[in-house]
Amino acid sequence: MIKKIVGNIDFLENLRGKSASFALAISTTKTCDIDGLTQAGIPGFIYLTPTLDAEFLCSGEVRSLDNIAETPKGVPTPALISRAVHLLKSYKKLEIFDLGAKVKPKLDYFEQYSFGIEPSCSIEDGADIEAKKIFDLGEKFASEYELNSDYLILGESVPSGTTTALTTALALGYDCKDKFSSSFKDTPDSVKQKVVKKALANLAKEDKLFEKLSKVSDNMLIFNAGFVVGASKRGLPLVLAGGTQMACVLLIANRFASNINSKNLGLFTTKWIAEDENSDIKGLLEMLDFKVNAFYADFDFALSEHPALKLYDQGEAKEGVGAGACLVYGLLNGLSKEDITRKVENFLG
Amino acid sequence: MIKKIVGNIDFLENLRGKSASFALAISTTKTCDIDGLTQAGIPGFIYLTPTLDAEFLCSGEVRSLDNIAETPKGVPTPALISRAVHLLKSYKKLEIFDLGAKVKPKLDYFEQYSFGIEPSCSIEDGADIEAKKIFDLGEKFASEYELNSDYLILGESVPSGTTTALTTALALGYDCKDKFSSSFKDTPDSVKQKVVKKALANLAKEDKLFEKLSKVSDNMLIFNAGFVVGASKRGLPLVLAGGTQMACVLLIANRFASNINSKNLGLFTTKWIAEDENSDIKGLLEMLDFKVNAFYADFDFALSEHPALKLYDQGEAKEGVGAGACLVYGLLNGLSKEDITRKVENFLG
């Protein structure tokens, strides 16, 4: 029920029955306002998606907008999957890393870590991120982070994040043009390629790593790369929860730290990412100078007749809000595919 | 599966997957010897009910009497529900607050806190409780209480407790005549009203708060009111487990502390209480000067054919031994209505 992408299967097996905290890193980039680039949310309100995902994940309610974020085709947010697992086998702690959400989630009781980070600009206009500061914040936070469970699952909600991830990896010199995923089944290559090209044109040959990141990346990627470096230094058990965006987090960390201790570092994602023919997460992870323990949940909606969920199996949405890692966590704790399917269906009525 | 009475839903959501200790406060009042006033136990042995509940909850055995406490109609103690949840998803710690049980529970290993409190007299005869001393004991104990889990569930077993609660709230000046519950479906109003009237007649106009409590209340109500005040001062995460008796605990606390910090304070009860047409827990909670986070388990025995359990759905018993909060705790930890129903049925054979 859980399959390997790369790494050591004992990393995974050792997590059976262990408790996990789930932190959702949310951030807004104006890149997501570019028409047709992402389907992760409601047109005109894409910037709200991270906020709504955080609210729904924690409380079961969408508070900053009346309806839950749905794509134009009616693909619901993967937060439904992450929440369903939480209802069946709760994460020990749910918390938010606010890495520049435009609208703060309306949540009480749940820990929301704020770092004074503002939403970033569009990468078409140079993003304008204080990259070194953000990276250092992430590294420092990881060094101080108090883990109250056996391991930390770190997910993300950043609309248009695969575009900033692709651009970032290209800017850092990785040969990865066709390896990044998209929330679309049929990737809007023309729009995406135009944005990537325009963003890369802002780079100067003499730009150092942080200068490049400042122009073409997003806060989540940079902060989490710092977090990975900080976590690896202290051996914090950490699972990056996501697909090619989280792979990019590792690609960034790889450029800044020559010898990352990845013994306690994992990446868990969905089947829709791992078996996607239009992207190559395995290829991305194999570009790292260190080995990471990457697995995916062999979960799909074959047991459901719900048309909105069948769209996942056709390649829409694929991943986000830590859905893949939440599925792995659920499967490692005795949940069945049927349990999770029924619980997700419950949300849709 | 869990519904709101009043308060902040994030208080509840933040408890998902969290561990809980369960403390059962037991006390005997001679009020329970009044014929026809309560059906919480075996006629002639009503005073044993708290003892038997404590024994069964902790050990699965009734040691101080051969048969488990049943009402004349055959309604089994709600301790069955609290115990069923414990078997499926255990409380981290089970312990007894002995607030004047006539017979000490025969239990080893389980912590039984004793405070030197004697069973109280009948409120018809003036109860004769050292109210200030009991209240102070509760407050001091809360200030020192060592919590070994994420939050404390505090339940009670006090036969005829709704009568002492009603009398207490009336004595403290709350307009609540028709708001208190009863273990009977058809409340024995004539008996109850006679007792209440007789008890209130013992009050003198010049009585101060503690003098009133000394005459018309019970040890559990007074001690726990002090406990609530002490807990709120240190922010101890506390869930009062019960219906209108626990509401009365809050009403008492409300008279003694002008500004209770109720952020970490909850009250969880059953559907049979929350939806009871003959009482009004919501109305009681709305009389408080502070806000409390009150929820109930949307659980009934619709999935059972057992005649003794069907009596719950007809309005008998309703609550006690923390049953409602135990149900909420179970639901927050992934148990289903079916899981719990089957486990309760197992006890009845």
**A299-316 burial, b if ≥16 CB within 10 A, otherwise e?**
bbbeebeeebbebbeebb
Other residues' Cβ atoms within 10 Å of the Cβ of residue B128? 14
The pLDDT of residue A185: 75
Short-list A122, A173, A106, A141, CA closest to A23: A141
Tell me the C-alpha distance between A297 and B252, whole Å: 53
Interface of A with B in 104-123 (CB under 8 A): 107-110
DSSP single-letter state for residue B118: P
Assess contact for B345 and B304: CB atoms under 8 A. Answer: yes
Q: So what's the pLDDT on residue B190?
A: 84
Cross-chain Cβ contact B17/A87 below 8 Å:
no
Given the candidates 3.40.1280.10, 3.90.79.10, 1.20.80.30, 3.40.50.10210, the CATH classification of the domain at B2-348 is: 3.40.50.10210
Mean pLDDT along residues B136-150 = 97
Residue B307's pLDDT is 92
Q: Which residues contact A144 (CB under 8 A, 6 or more apart)?
A: none
Distance from CA of A274 to the nearest CA of B (A): 29
- Whether chain B has a CB inside 8 Å of the CB on A91: the answer is yes
Integer CA distances (angstroms), B148 to A42, A112, A183, A318, B306, in order: 45, 25, 44, 41, 37
Least confident of A236-250, A251-265, B63-77: B63-77
The ranges assigned to domains in chain A are 2-348
ipTM > 0.90 (yes/no): no
| Number of Cβ within a 10 Å radius of residue B43 | 11
For residue B9, the chain A residues in CB contact (below 8 A) are 59, 61
Tokens of B232: 């709120």
Kindly report, residue by residue over A31-68, the tens digit of the pLDDT: 999 888 888 888 888 999 999 999 999 999 999 986 66
Q: How far is B12 from chain A (nearest CA, A)?
A: 9
Q: Is residue B142 predicted with pLDDT exceeding 90?
A: yes
Given this model, what pLDDT does residue A264 score?
97
The answer, yes or no, to whether residue A69 has pLDDT greater than 70, is: no
- For residue A61, which residues of chain B lie inside 8 Å, CB to CB? 9
Question: Quick check: B17 contacting A, CB < 8 Å?
Answer: yes
Higher model confidence: residue B13 or residue A184? B13
> Residue B331 corresponds to which tokens in the numbers above?
């639901």
Question: Where residue A244 falls among pLDDT bands split at 50, 70, 90?
Answer: very high
Please name which of A312, A275, A62 lies closest in space to residue A184, comparing C-alpha atoms: A312
CB contact under 8 A, A89 and B334: yes
pLDDT of residue A63: 92
SS (H, E, C) B39-98: CCCCCCCHHHHHHHHHHHHHHCCCCCCCCCCECCCCCECCHHHHHHHHHHCCCCEEEEEE
- Quickly list DSSP for B161-203: HHHHHHHHHHHTT---TT----SSSS--HHHHHHHHHHHHTT-
Share of chain B above pLDDT 90, in %: 86
Residue A109 has its nearest CB partner, among B11, B17, B333, at B11
Residue of B nearest to A333 (CA): B334
- B43 and chain A: CB distance < 8 Å anywhere? no
From residue B41, give the alpha-carbon distance in Å to each of A153, B122, B270, B310, B322. 49, 17, 19, 18, 16
Across B92-110, average pLDDT: 97
Q: Which of A90, A91, A109 sits opposite B10 (nearest CB)?
A: A109
HSE at residue A157, side-chain half, CA atoms within 13 A, is 33
Asked whether the beta carbons of residue B18 and residue A110 sit closer than 8 angstroms, the reply is no
Give the model's confidence band at B99: pLDDT under 50 very low, under 70 low, under 90 confident, else very high.
Answer: very high
The whole-angstrom distance between B331's CA and the closest CA on chain A is 9
Q: What is the CA radius of gyration of chain B?
A: 18
First to last CA, chain B: 27
Residue A219 has pLDDT above 70, yes or no: yes
Tell me which chain A residues have a C-beta less than 8 angstroms from the C-beta of B13: 58-60, 109-110
| Residues of chain B with C-beta less than 8 angstroms from the C-beta of A86 | 16-17
The pLDDT value given to residue B189: 72
Q: Give a three-class secondary structure readout of B4-37.
A: EEECCHHHHHCCCCCCEEEEEEECCEHHHHCCCC
> Chain B contact for A185, CB < 8 A?
no
Chain A residues with CB under 8 Å of B14 CB are 58, 94, 109-110
Contact B20, B325 (CB under 8 A): no
Beta partners for residue A23, in sequence order: A95, A154
Which of chain A's residues have a Cβ under 8 Å away from the Cβ of B332? Answer: 90
The mean predicted confidence, pLDDT, of chain B is 94
DSSP A342: H
Q: Which among B8, B16, B332 has the least Cβ separation from residue A108?
A: B8
A305-314, B68-77, B195-204, B285-294: least confident range: B68-77
Predicted pLDDT at B49: 94
| Contact at CB, A92 and B333, closer than 8 angstroms | no
B8, B9, B334 member nearest A88 (Cβ) = B334
What is the band of A181 on the pLDDT scale with cuts at 50, 70, 90?
Answer: confident
User: What mean pLDDT is predicted for residues A3-22?
Assistant: 98
Q: Does A86 touch chain B (CB under 8 A)?
A: yes
Instruction: For chain A, give the mean pLDDT.
Output: 94
Q: Do A59 and B8 touch (CB under 8 A)?
A: no
A87 at interface of B, judged by CB pairs closer than 8 A: yes
Amino acid type, B265: L
Percentage of chain A lying above the pLDDT 70 cut: 97
B104, B51 in Cβ contact below 8 A?
Answer: yes
Give pLDDT tens digits for B240-254.
999 999 999 999 999
pLDDT number for residue B216:
97
| CB-closest option in B9, B333, B334 to A59 | B9
C-alpha span between B218 and B47 (Å, rounded): 14
